[in-house]
Structure 1
Amino acid sequence: MKKILIASTALISTAGFAAAEVALSGRAEMGIFQYNAAYGAAKGLANNGDPQFFTDIDVTFTMSGETDNGLTFGASVDLDEGGAISNATQNNSDDGGATIFISGGFGTVTMGDTDGALDWALTDAGNVGNPGSIADDETEHAGYVGAYLDGNNNGSNGDGQILRWDYTSGAFGVAVSLEDDNGSNVANTGIGYAVGFKYSMNVSGTTVNFGLGHQKAADNVGVADDIKATGVSVDATFANGLSAGIQYADWSSVGATGPDSNMGIGLGYTTGAISMHVNYGEVELNNGTKNDGFGIAAAYDLGGGAVVHFGYGQGETAAAPGVKQKSASLGLGLSF
Structure 2
Amino acid sequence: MARILSYLDAIGEALAQEMRRDPAVVVFGEDNIGGTGTDGKLGNAWGPTKGLNEMFPDQIFDAPITEAAFVGAAVGAAATGLRPVADLLFVDFAGVCFDQILNQAAKLRYMVGGKASVPLVLRAMWGAGMRRGAQHSQALYPIFTHIPGLKVVVPSTPADAKGLMTTAIRDNDPVVFFEHKMLYFSRGVVPEESYEIPFGQARTVREGTDCTIVAIGRMVGEAEVAAEQLAMDGMSCEVIDPRTVSPLDTESIYASVRRTGRLVVVDESNPRCSVASDIASLVAQNTFDSLRGPVQMVTSPHAPTPFSPALEDAYAPNSGQIVSAVQRTVRSAVPA
Higher RCO (C-alpha 8 Å, min separation 6): 1
Q: TM-score range by the shorter chain?
A: under 0.3
